Chains A and B, each alone.
Chain A
Amino acid sequence: MADLFQDYPFGRAWDEMFSGPGVIRPAYESVHAALQTLSAADLKARADIMGRTFLDQGITFALGGVERPFPLDLIPRIVTAQEWKVVQTGVPQRVRALEAFLADCYGPGRIFQDGVVPRRLVTTSPHFHRQVAGMDGQDGARIVISGVDLIRDEHGAFRVLEDNVRVPSGVSYVLENRQAVSQVLSEAGGDQQIRSVAEYPGRLLAALRAVAPANISDPTVVVLTPGVYNSAYFEHTLLAREMGVELVEGRDLICRNNRVFVRTTAGEMPVHVIYRRLDDEFLDPMQFRLDSMLGSPGLINAARANNLTIANAVGNGIADDKLVYTYVPDIIRYYLNEEPILLNVDTYRMEDREHLEYALEHLAELVIKPVDGSGGKGIVIGSQADASTLSRARQAILENPRGWIAQREIALSTVPTLIGDKMRPRHVDLRPFAVNDGNSVWVLPGGLTRVALPEGELVVNSSQGGGSKDTWVLAAPDEPISAPIELQAQAPGQAILPTTEEDDVDPDGQEQGQGFIPWQESPAQSTGAFFFDPPVSPDDGGEGLRHQQGQQQQEHATC
């Protein structure tokens, strides 16, 4: 049988399976052994079965209106217990520091007075929302869900690429990838103890209940989705289903007297915690974008009155700002009095004169990023850019130094990936997901490994040929594979009596008239012309709604 790993090339990057030609790292031995028994055709057939399953189950993302299965490479990415320790301690440290930073920014602003971070940095961020200044009801639990993007540099050390503490997406793929790989490549695990990822929904629900407003003993949690046209819609349904809570859209919610209700078949039921999967700007048309069709007017006031918890909190975007990112090591030292466990990538601030001069001189060796970009938008990789792109980047930086950072180009670590009928190294990153219940931060042992499928590609993105891998975190000998979660007992939900209005329902709804009545059509349908007036549901905004629904997500790009 032809060796899948024949002519496997080695470059500058750290390869996670091989420490040198033919030298396999111990963690990967069982995977490598399992692959030796398979031909490329076998692997291809298994990958096809998996793709088919994803398509049938609707585990897809929408690209240009076409649903595609999320490309998953069968070869898992393995992190040893030793290596994981850094992530497991480093990510919570970062989350705790950013929590303190956010509470401070929207509160007293001590860090500005002490001169660690300039106030200008925060107030010029497009994600700084004065609407939530002074709201401290959610301090310590503003970042319930976070996805800190990590990469491994040329020496195999984890470094933070960016923080995502608004609406990080991708956890559904962590759960689905594990299931898919265990179904089609079950032999690869060998006798290794792989830590379970299945407890995530339970942990998330427990955390969401824990951060509910203080005066609620049995909180109702809902997941708020932009709608079916959002590319992460599958993830929203999965989380709601696995947590056993309702998946609501903005039109299901209603705010009255600073309390939030959801419309049900039996009237209006109170809601206490919203895990929202849409951006701040669309959440509350009363406070932000007036034209938002996705949110519900009044949510912010309900949160301000401590009747509602919004997870993640509004205004978290300032901590995601890539210019703030450059200050995070200082932020950790300032609030926690600790040294950062996870290092940043070396970054240059374009506002700093010396940094700017250096960066403009060495533009062709650096990576230029917009500070508020996501999904790989606007990133210029100096070594791969032509002269005109570089001069445009230079121009853009000079026009708006606050809008850009420059980073050293890192050769991201590689993992073997099936390309055609051969294994080839491809660059990967890692998004570990962390859940914060206000007291402690729990890191899901696993995370989303994204892989850039084109050769040498450093930007990892679904629309640019990105795929993913199952991520195995190995258990240390004394470590449990999964820990039991304690959930509060859930009492049956209680409704309060809605306000009374005149009974305007015709008791029998009998319609008069002779002869046959045309077929009734569903109001929710967008297909085609109907016999009688096309019944459009009152809040169906058509194209505009689709467009808004499509925008909401914190996409994942790496470079």
Chain B
Amino acid sequence: MLSRIAESLYWLGRHVERADCTARILDTYLHLLPTGSWATDHQVIRSLVDSMGLSGDDEVEGADSGKLIRTLVFDTERASSVSGALIAARDNARGVRDALPLDVWECLNVTWHGLRSRAATGGGPHTYLRWVSERCAIAAGLTDQVMSHDEGWHFLAVGRALERADMTIRLIAAADSQTGSVPPWRALVSACGGWEPYVREHGGSIGQRTAIEFALLDRKFPRSVLRCLTAAEASLAELEAAGSMQQRDPRRDPSSARRIVGRTRTGLDYRTGTELSSDLPNLLSNLQRTVASAHVAVSNSFFRRGDEVTWANIGSEGVLA
């Protein structure tokens, strides 16, 4: 598989997941908070704003909620906003049209065409975010059901798993903050999309320990960090196997990403819920680093572009010296 295509598929997976997660988080917290009370001083919103690189931006600091929503949801110029992530996903898909099934491409393309008209209908952010979630679900479903689970699919799956882990980790780290009438831990579980599974597992009463344990360690809930890392590890193992069947470039190390993810996953796997609270901040930052390092390792071992070709007799302006 071409490196360029592998990279685009990986980012396609990440961007769709990012749009989905951001939409769910915003939808959850927008509901919980009384209008006007949430602004940039709320931890979760703060975390989203930070991750979009907007902290310190005069436009956003102290902005009213309407303006903040426009930035986080509708801003097509930022690849981290909901709309921006979907645009980025479609751009990536467009560059790998020959490697994607028509249905998946059509889904992303229809979504892209719908972005503007949906945003303009004035149905409010909730309607819009619900629609985004649906479109992301269709994209994810088609990817799993229509696309052959070949090398390309595994790249997509790795991107999706890493992004999902990253979002959940961020959410846990920011969750301990005021959420009005609803307990913050319930908001956390809802924002992960896991309220109903949680209730079935732990009953209706919610506490910090069970909530964090659920989001981090649950073995059945597909959005828990443990499940995300397990999925990433499995796909990375497939990619490693696919790579080793062909003669490899000795400069690449296709198992580095799997080692990084696998090490952390094992650490998480053999941990109990009670051990979590003692060192949570440290654990979370370790997890976050794992995701970042895995990303670097995947890029280095699979997407690495060749050395730049340079001309001995050409100056930097591209004219003959």
Task: Using CB atoms and an 8 Å cutoff, list the residues of chain A in contact with chain B.
Answer: 55-58, 227-228, 233-234, 237, 240-241, 246-249, 251-252, 254, 262-268, 290-291, 297, 495-498, 500-511, 513-532, 538-539
A301, chain B: closest CB distance, angstroms = 14
Q: State A266–B170 Cα separation when bound (angstroms).
A: 33
Q: Please judge, given known A-B contacts A508-B293, A528-B79, whether A228 and B94 are in contact too, CB under 8 Å.
A: yes
B211, chain A: closest CB distance, angstroms = 20
Question: Do residues A57 and B106 form an inter-chain contact, with CB atoms below 8 A?
Answer: yes
B187, chain A: closest CB distance, angstroms = 20
Question: Could you say which residues of chain B place their CB within 8 Å of the CB of A291?
Answer: 318
Interface residue B98 (Cβ < 8 Å from any Cβ of A) = yes
Question: Do residues A252 and B250 form an inter-chain contact, with CB atoms below 8 A?
Answer: no
Instruction: Specify which of A233, A241, A501, A525 is in contact with B91 (CB 8 Å cutoff).
Output: A525
B4, chain A: closest CB distance, angstroms = 5
Question: Could you say which residues of chain A place their CB within 8 Å of the CB of B2?
Answer: 246, 248, 252, 262-265
Question: Do residues B249 and A498 form an inter-chain contact, with CB atoms below 8 A?
Answer: yes
Q: State A521–B81 Cα separation when bound (angstroms).
A: 12
Question: Do residues B1 and A264 form an inter-chain contact, with CB atoms below 8 A?
Answer: yes
Interface residue B95 (Cβ < 8 Å from any Cβ of A) = yes
Question: Do residues B53 and A524 form an inter-chain contact, with CB atoms below 8 A?
Answer: no
Enumerate B35-94 residues with CB–CB distance to A below 8 Å: 50-53, 76-80, 84, 87-88, 91-92, 94
A6, chain B: closest CB distance, angstroms = 37
With both beta carbons as reference points, the residue of chain A lying nearest to B77 in the complex is identified as: A528
Question: Do residues B292 and A511 form an inter-chain contact, with CB atoms below 8 A?
Answer: yes
Q: State A513–B51 Cα separation when bound (angstroms).
A: 17
Question: Could you say which residues of chain A place their CB within 8 Å of the CB of B300?
Answer: 505-506, 509
Q: Please judge, given known A-B contacts A252-B4, A508-B256, A509-B260, whether A265 and B306 are in contact too, CB under 8 Å.
A: no
Question: Could you say which residues of chain A place their CB within 8 Å of the CB of B128?
Answer: none
Q: State A495–B245 Cα separation when bound (angstroms).
A: 11
Task: Give 1 or 0 for each of B234-269: 1 = CB within 8 Å of chain A CB.
Answer: 000001001101111111110011011000000000
Question: Do residues B91 and A529 form an inter-chain contact, with CB atoms below 8 A?
Answer: no
Q: Please judge, given known A-B contacts A240-B98, A251-B305, whether A519 and B51 are in contact too, CB under 8 Å.
A: yes
Question: Do residues B248 and A522 form an inter-chain contact, with CB atoms below 8 A?
Answer: no
Question: Do residues A522 and B97 form an inter-chain contact, with CB atoms below 8 A?
Answer: no
Question: Do residues B289 and A522 form an inter-chain contact, with CB atoms below 8 A?
Answer: no
Question: Could you say which residues of chain A place their CB within 8 Å of the CB of B4?
Answer: 249, 251-252, 263
Q: State A501–B291 Cα separation when bound (angstroms).
A: 28
A297, chain B: closest CB distance, angstroms = 6
What 6 A-B pairs have minimum CB-CB distances, sorted nearest first?
A: A531-B53, A267-B249, A237-B97, A522-B11, A240-B98, A266-B246
B193, chain A: closest CB distance, angstroms = 20
Question: Do residues A527 and B87 form an inter-chain contact, with CB atoms below 8 A?
Answer: yes
Instruction: Specify which of A227, A520, A524, A530 is in contact with B8 (CB 8 Å cutoff).
Output: A524
Q: State A240–B99 Cα separation when bound (angstroms).
A: 9
Q: Please judge, given known A-B contacts A57-B106, A237-B98, A528-B84, whether A508 and B260 are in contact too, CB under 8 Å.
A: yes
Question: Do residues A266 and B95 form an inter-chain contact, with CB atoms below 8 A?
Answer: no
Instruction: Specify which of B88, B285, B303, B319 is in contact with A516 (CB 8 Å cutoff).
Output: B285
Interface residue B296 (Cβ < 8 Å from any Cβ of A) = yes
Q: Please judge, given known A-B contacts A263-B306, A529-B53, whether A524 and B95 are in contact too, CB under 8 Å.
A: yes
Q: A267-B248, A513-B289, A527-B88 are in contact. List 17 more A-B contacts (CB 8 A).
A: A56-B106, A240-B98, A263-B4, A264-B3, A266-B242, A290-B311, A290-B319, A505-B251, A507-B253, A510-B293, A520-B295, A522-B14, A524-B92, A527-B79, A527-B87, A528-B77, A529-B77
B110, chain A: closest CB distance, angstroms = 5
A259, chain B: closest CB distance, angstroms = 14
Question: Do residues B251 and A501 form an inter-chain contact, with CB atoms below 8 A?
Answer: yes
Instruction: Specify which of B14, B110, B166, B253 is in contact with A56 (CB 8 Å cutoff).
Output: B110
Question: Do residues A267 and B293 form an inter-chain contact, with CB atoms below 8 A?
Answer: no
Q: Please judge, given known A-B contacts A527-B84, A528-B78, whether A267 and B94 are in contact too, CB under 8 Å.
A: no
Question: Do residues B91 and A532 form an inter-chain contact, with CB atoms below 8 A?
Answer: no
- In the complex, which of the residues B5, B53, B285 has the most CB atoms of chain A within 10 Å of its own CB atom? B53
Question: Do residues B295 and A58 form an inter-chain contact, with CB atoms below 8 A?
Answer: no
Interface residue B279 (Cβ < 8 Å from any Cβ of A) = no
Instruction: Specify which of B76, B166, B239, B252 is in contact with A267 (CB 8 Å cutoff).
Output: B252
Q: State A247–B2 Cα separation when bound (angstroms).
A: 9
Q: State A55–B309 Cα separation when bound (angstroms).
A: 39
With both beta carbons as reference points, the residue of chain A lying nearest to B243 in the complex is identified as: A266
Question: Could you say which residues of chain A place their CB within 8 Å of the CB of B283?
Answer: none
With both beta carbons as reference points, the residue of chain B lying nearest to A514 in the complex is identified as: B285
Q: State A127–B254 Cα separation when bound (angstroms).
A: 46
Question: Could you say which residues of chain A place their CB within 8 Å of the CB of B11?
Answer: 522, 524-525
Q: State A250–B123 Cα separation when bound (angstroms).
A: 44
Q: State A525–B10 Cα separation when bound (angstroms).
A: 13
Q: State A376–B292 Cα separation when bound (angstroms).
A: 52
Question: Do residues A518 and B53 form an inter-chain contact, with CB atoms below 8 A?
Answer: yes
Q: Please judge, given known A-B contacts A249-B4, A251-B305, A538-B305, whether A531 and B51 are in contact too, CB under 8 Å.
A: yes
24 residue pairs A–B, Cβ–Cβ below 8 Å: A56-B110, A237-B97, A248-B2, A249-B4, A251-B305, A252-B4, A263-B306, A265-B6, A265-B151, A266-B247, A268-B249, A291-B318, A502-B251, A505-B256, A507-B253, A509-B300, A510-B260, A510-B289, A520-B14, A520-B292, A524-B8, A524-B11, A524-B91, A528-B84
